Structure 1
Amino acid sequence: MEQVIINLSKNKWDWMMERQLDDLSNLFHEKAVFVHMGATFSKNEEIDVINNGSIIYKNVDIQETSVRLIGTIAILLNKVLLVAVVGGNEVTNPFVVTEVYVLQEDQWKLASMSFTRLLVP
């Protein structure tokens, strides 16, 4: 089951970079929350941010991944180096991205995604 969640997360990054909005919309839970460095978004707001190019995900280098299963909840932590265009400027940030998935009608849905910027020496 852990590998299923890891694969789903990897697909999500690809879909975000490729702006595959239908796939993302299907993955995101209706009540999902997305926490970025400067804002918190609902499902529809996150889809809009990706669609209108407010944040353009260019590359994600996944350096470490762990998954914890708790009943019908999966918590995935990805340590990543993310390259994105935000407000017209390309930025590279080291993050731990926390993804919380819930099992709903035999399908995993992303309920929360939070970016925590790492301090690099």
Structure 2
Amino acid sequence: MKKRISKVLFLAFSILMLSMQTSYAQRQTTNCEQTKQELLDLSKTKWQWMADKNVDSLNNLFHDEAVFVHMGGTMNKEQELNTIKSGGIHYKHAEIQETSVRFISNTAIILDRIRLTAVVGGNEVVNPFMVTEVYVLIDGKWKLGSLSFTRLLGE
């Protein structure tokens, strides 16, 4: 009888542990999907802020040590904000064609395949880019640490 009770208790404990692990895994997956969507929404909003020349919101989003890589060179946060504010580059519209998010610890990497309409040096240009956005979670907030444009050939 003791053996039977021990087996039943062991089986019940095993089922309980399995259900707890499954529940935890489901919560983790849901949280991951929610975080991915939060980042995709933040990225999309960033493109709109850039189009609207909303440098105040961008200033809050960009990390102080952020780097920006363009076809013509690199910029720091201050240079990027000044270029947007002055209209040196006016990001008119970013048509996001494909996007993905990957995580490494507290860092998120977004890859966007976009068709960017911009005004550069007074000329409107349309270019296909693969854009790499790197976000770091700092004190519960996502900060943009890097934004790099790679022009796609043959598109």
TM-score > 0.5 by shorter chain: yes
Does the alignment pair 1:48 with 2:49? no
Aligned-pair CA distance for 1:70? 1.1
What CA RMSD, in Å, does the superposition of the two structures yield over aligned residues?
0.7
Task: Identify, as 1 or 2, the structure richer in strand.
Answer: 1
In structure 2, the residue matched to 1:109 is 143
Q: Provide the C-alpha distance between the structure 2 equivalents of 1:11 and 1:74, rounded to a whole number of angstroms.
A: 16
Per the normalisation by structure 2, the TM-score is 0.77
How many pairs were matched up? Answer: 121
Cα shift readout 1:76-115 (whole Å, capped 9, x = no counterpart): 0000000000011110000000000000010000000000
**Residue among 31, 35, 38 paired with 1:4:** 38
What one-letter code is carried by the residue in structure 2 that aligns with 1:72? N
Q: Deviations over 1:27-63 (max 9, x none)?
A: 0000000000001000000000000000011111100
Give 1:86's match in structure 2, choosing from 120, 129, 132.
Answer: 120
Q: Secondary structure, in 3 states, of the residue corresponding to 2:153?
A: coil
CA distance in 2, matches of 1:103, 1:20: 22
**Paired position in structure 1 for 2:96:** 62
Identity among equivalent pairs (%): 57
Match of 2:62 among 5, 14, 28: 28
Please say if residues 34 and 41 of structure 1, whose CA atoms lie closer than 8 Å, have aligned partners that are also in contact: yes
Q: Secondary structure at the match of 1:45?
A: helix
User: Structure 1: which 5+ runs fail to align?
Assistant: none
CA distance in 2, matches of 1:93, 1:7: 23
CA distance, structure 2, for counterparts of residue 69 and residue 57 of structure 1:
27
| Greater RCO (CA < 8 Å, at least 6 residues apart) | 1
